[in-house]
Chains A and B, each alone.
Chain A
Amino acid sequence: MKELLLIIAGSVLVNNFVLSRFLGECPFLGVSKKLETAISMGFATTFVLTMTSVATYFIQFYILEPFGLSRFLQIVSFILVIASLVQLVEMVILKTSPALYKALGIYLPLITTNCAVLGLALLIAIKRYNLIQSIAFGLGAGIGFTLAMALMAGIREEMEFGDVPEALRGVAIVLITAGLLSMAFLGFSGLIPM
Chain B
Amino acid sequence: MYQLVKDFFNGLWNENPTFKMIIGMCPTLAVTTAAMNGIAMGLATTFVLVFSSLLISLLRNFIPAKVRIPCYIIVIATFVTVVDLFMAGYFPAMYKILGLYIPLIVVNCIIMARAEAFASKVTPMRAIADALGMGLGFTWAITLIGAVRELMGSGTLFGFPVFGENVTRWVIMLLPPGAFITMGVLLGIMNLLTRRGVKNTQCH
Footprint of B on A, CB under 8 Å?
A: 19-27, 29-31, 71-76, 79-80, 83, 109-110, 112-115, 117-119, 122-123, 126, 165-176, 178-180, 182-183, 185-186
Contacts and interface: CB of A to CB of B under 8 A. Distances in A.
Given A113-B109, A118-B104, A75 B202 contact: no
A175 B78 CA distance: 32
Nearest to A126: B100
A29 B25 contact: yes
B103 A173 contact: no
A77 to B, nearest CB: 9
B44 to A, nearest CB: 13
B30 interface: yes
Contacts of B81: 72-76
B26 A113 contact: no
13 contacts: A19-B176, A24-B26, A29-B22, A72-B81, A72-B85, A112-B107, A113-B203, A115-B107, A166-B197, A167-B189, A169-B198, A171-B22, A179-B178
B46 to A, nearest CB: 18
Contacts of B100: 119, 122-123, 126
Nearest to A113: B107
Nearest to B74: A76
Given A71-B85, A171-B187, A176-B184, 15 more contacts: A72-B81, A72-B85, A76-B77, A79-B106, A119-B100, A119-B104, A166-B191, A168-B191, A172-B187, A172-B188, A176-B180, A179-B178, A180-B177, A182-B176, A186-B175
Contacts of A72: 81, 85
A83 B109 CA distance: 14
B112 interface: yes
B198 A170 contact: yes
Residue among A75, A114, A185, A186 with max Cβ neighbours from chain B (10 Å): A75
Contacts of A22: 25-27, 29-30, 176, 179
A170 B188 CA distance: 9
Given A22-B179, A30-B202, A167-B191, A113 B23 contact: no
B152 interface: no
Interface of B: 22-23, 25-27, 29-30, 69-70, 73-74, 77-78, 80-81, 84-85, 100, 103-104, 106-109, 112, 172, 175-181, 183-185, 187-189, 191-192, 197-198, 200, 202-204
In the A-B complex, list the 5 residue pairs whose CB atoms are closest, starting with the nearest: A30-B202, A175-B184, A179-B180, A26-B203, A179-B181
Contacts, number: 142
Contact of A110 (B80, B185, B204): B204
Q: Which secondary structure characterizes the binding site on chain A?
A: helix
A116 to B, nearest CB: 9
Contacts of A170: 191, 197-198, 200
A75 B80 contact: yes
Contacts of A186: 175-177
B109 A182 contact: no
Contacts of A27: 202-203
A26 B25 contact: yes
Contacts of B200: 170-171
Contact of B202 (A29, A165, A172, A180): A29
A83 B107 CA distance: 11
B177 A179 contact: yes
Contacts of A80: 70, 73-74, 77
B192 A167 contact: yes
B84 to A, nearest CB: 7
